[in-house]
Structures are given as C-alpha cells and as structure tokens.
Amino acid sequence: MASASAPTIVGLDIGTTKICCLVGSLDDNQQVAVRGLGLAPSVGLRKGVIIDQQGTVEAIRRAADEAARQAGCALTGAYVYVGVTGDHVDSFTCHAAVRIEQFDHDILPADVDRVTALATAGVQKATRDILLERPRAFIVDGRRVADPLGLNGESLEVDLHVVTGERRFLQQVRSCVENAGLPVDSLVLEAVATGEAVLRPEERELGVVVVDLGGGTTDIAVYHEGQMVHTAAIAVGGAHVTADLSYALGATYQTAEDLKLRYGRATPDLCDPDGAIAYTNARGEVAEAEHALLAEVAGPRLEELFELVGRELRRAGYDLQRLAGGVVLAGGASTLPGVQLVARQVLGVLVREAKPRGIVEGAALVADPRFATAVGLVRLGGMDQAARLARIEDTSLAARLRTFWRNITRLFD
C-alpha cells in the first residue's frame, strides 16, 4: 500500500481520440496505487498535434475533473506528468569522449555530466527541446561498461540516446494543460511511459519492441540489454481504421468508431460468416453490412501499419529476429480482436498484448492496454519525485556536515 505521505501524481495522456487522466501515487517498492481515473473524448488533436487549443483545454478539464472526483482530492497541488508524441518527435544517437583529468583517473559524476553535455552540444536547440537523454553505453578505455562511476580509466565515452520535439508543439501542450488548471511538472515521451508500465525486466534484457497503437499515431520503443535504444512515431493509428470504415460504410466517423469498437475484427475468419450489422448511414437511413466487411476494411490498414513498423525498425538497423522478447502491443487499437495475429504474420515474431504491471491498488480500473501510458506516467512521476527528494536530502546532509565541521574548526581557532 502506498504511504499516506507519498506525493500525489497525475499522469495525463493526451491522445488523438481520448484524454486519460490518472491520479495515483507510488509506494517504496515502485508499485502504483490508483486513486482516480478520468476519461474524455479528445477534441482538437490530429496525429498527436494540437489543432484546436480551446477544445483540447476543455477536454483535459473534463477528464481531470472526473479523476479528481474519484480520487477525492484537488489536483492543484499534485505533480503532473504529461505524455507527448507525434511525428514532430525525432530520435537519434550522439557520441562523445572526454579525458579523465584526475590524478588517480577515478571516474566521478562530474566526468559523466561532462561527457553527456558534450554529446548533446551539437543538438539543434534553436527550435527543438530535448525530451529524453539516456545512455545506451559507456566506454572506459575502449571497454563497454554499464556504470562507469568509480572505475579507473584515462578516457570516458558515451553513446547517448536523445529524443527531441518541436518546441512550438510542446509549448502548445504545456499551455493547454495549464489553461485547464493543472500545473505541468514535466513533459514525458509517451513511448517511455508505456514501456515503463508494461515491460518485464527480462524482456528489456533480451530485446523487445513496444508498439503503442494510438488513435492518430503509433509509437515505437526498442529495448536491448536493459536499455531503451530507439524510439519513433508513425503518423498512422486506430483513427485511420475508423476513417476507412466510415468511407466504406457511408457512415459518420462516430458511427464507424462505434461499429469498430462493438463489431470490429482484424481478420475475416473471426467474423460471423452469416452475420449482418444494421446501422444508420450518414444520410440518416438504416443500412446493413456484412460482419466480414469490417474485417476486410480493417485488416489491410493494420497490415500497412505493421509493415511501416517493420520498415522503421529496419531503417534504424534492428533485426526483429534478434530481439527475443518479440513485440508487445499497447494502446486502444491493440484490443481489436485478431490484431495480434496480423502483427505476428507481418512482423514474423512473437506478439503479446500489453497489460499494465506493478499496480498495488486499483488494478482492475486500469487493466485495459489503453491505460498503459497513463500508468507509466504515474510511475515515472513517482520515481522522479523520489529522486528529487533524495537529492534535496543529500544536499541538506552535506550542508549540515559543512556546518558541523565549520563549528568544530572554530573550537580550535
């Protein structure tokens, strides 16, 4: 059970089709206690980018109000972590090397900070903000090491995984959240949050790909040897399946979305061969379609999506056959019956559905893969706040020690 003194964390997943606001906290074992969940239809986003600020503000406010009501607390004093994605996000690896200047050549935290700063020195920062910096590998005197601190060496190198986003888009997200009444603590790459929520440690070591099928975008995150090594966003998602159905059926987008959620299948063999579905078309007339038609429309779009995922992985130099953990599917579109089969046929590896892990309270509320990103945001937020508190306590202890030794010195003056 989470401590009563644990800070309240808000994970806010601003998607193309839905806004998800999750209120929770983290216990000492990094288990999430869920206290409230608010959902609202998303208004004003396209492919992860805000196109209607006021509509987005109102949708965020509705989701936050519902989450606060369930949690029984105001969110003004909470720490708010907001997920971001979109095709404006870029990911790459930077390399840098420094000489160890200490006489004894022991590597200190300052050396790690120095080589990391050097690695990001060439990143375009005039119009872009860094969302993520994670070491892929450290190299001490030509040897790869997991943690260089305290090791002895003459040189330190780093391969740094860096993710950046277009500043104006990120500022729009921050502005919308703050105008909805929530103080933003940090913007977090959604692919990172999703991986944090659903992956087992052994999968990270073996190598695994998280594919988060959102409404307007599909987020990809590759893990290997315990580290995230690549991220990408593809501007195709579940909303494209809905748009295809809307066109094929002559129905409104909302009707097509309702039919997809209720009757949708990814392959025709999962459909009732004699089944027919009645619906109201865009002209207000009662119409009928064979059940198999939904799969005949959805299947090719999903095949295209997974082909794009495979193409992105090959472009980045990753062979799925060498990632023994296979693919983990998250996001709302991953719940469509048969989608795992399509992914397995296209990508040729094992595929499993994502389930949020490490939840000590309220697990039933967020068991759906749609909520994986929000759960990950709460966990990352709780870990971040704990790390900040530890740094403050370390600083406070150091200050007390300096005062103590200063007072001792004065006794002998």
Q: What is the pLDDT of residues 364-389, one digit of tens each?
A: 999 999 999 999 999 999 999 988 87
pLDDT at site 405: 47
How confident is the model over 81-93, as pLDDT tens digits? 999 988 888 888 9
Do both 233 and 314 map to the same domain? yes
pTM attached to this predicted model? 0.86
Please check whether residue 384 lies inside any domain of the structure: no
Domain count, the chain: 2
Does the pLDDT of residue 255 top 80, yes or no? yes
Please check whether residue 189 lies inside any domain of the structure: no
% of the chain exceeding 90 in pLDDT: 72
Could you tell me the residue range of the domain that residue 275 belongs to? 201-350
Residue bearing the bigger pLDDT, 139 or 126: 139
User: Of the residues 322, 350, 378, which one is the last residue of a structural domain?
Assistant: 350
pLDDT at site 387: 84
Do both 226 and 337 map to the same domain? yes
Query: What average pLDDT is seen over the chain?
Result: 89
**Spatial separation of the C-alpha atoms in residues 260 and 269, rounded to whole Å:** 16
Token code pair at residue 172: 């729009």
Please check whether residue 171 lies inside any domain of the structure: no
3-state secondary structure of 409: helix
3-state secondary structure of 134: strand
Do both 115 and 207 map to the same domain? no
The pLDDT-based confidence of 146 (bands split at 50, 70, 90) is confident
3-state secondary structure of 14: strand
Please check whether residue 59 lies inside any domain of the structure: no
% of the chain exceeding 70 in pLDDT: 93
pLDDT at site 371: 94
Lowest mean pLDDT among 3-7, 128-132, 139-143, 268-272: 3-7
Do both 205 and 343 map to the same domain? yes
pLDDT at site 411: 45
pLDDT at site 404: 44
Our CA angle for 61, 67, 69, nearest 5°, is 100
Would you say 37 and 21 are in contact if contact means Cβ atoms under 8 Å apart?
yes
Do both 290 and 207 map to the same domain? yes
User: Of the residues 311, 335, 350, which one is the last residue of a structural domain?
Assistant: 350
Strands (DSSP E) found in 86-217:
90-99, 128-140, 143-145, 155-166, 184-189, 208-213
Token code pair at residue 176: 């919308």
The pLDDT-based confidence of 412 (bands split at 50, 70, 90) is very low
pLDDT at site 117: 93
Please check whether residue 251 lies inside any domain of the structure: yes
Do both 213 and 294 map to the same domain? yes
Q: Look up residue 119 and give its DSSP letter.
A: H
The CATH number of the domain where 140 resides is what?
A: 3.30.1490.110
The pLDDT-based confidence of 408 (bands split at 50, 70, 90) is very low
Does the pLDDT of residue 59 top 80, yes or no? yes
**Spatial separation of the C-alpha atoms in residues 179 and 188, rounded to whole Å:** 19
Do both 234 and 339 map to the same domain? yes
**Spatial separation of the C-alpha atoms in residues 161 and 229, rounded to whole Å:** 6
SS (H, E, C) 23-65: EEEECCCCCEEEEEEEEEECCCEECCEECCHHHHHHHHHHHHH
Does the pLDDT of residue 400 top 60, yes or no? no
pLDDT at site 225: 87
User: Of the residues 350, 383, 404, which one is the last residue of a structural domain?
Assistant: 350
- Helix pair angle (291-315, 339-347), 10° resolution: 40
Would you say 381 and 365 are in contact if contact means Cβ atoms under 8 Å apart?
no
Do both 253 and 327 map to the same domain? yes
Average pLDDT over residues 223-238: 90
How confident is the model over 304-352, as pLDDT tens digits? 999 999 999 999 999 999 999 999 999 989 999 999 999 999 999 999 9
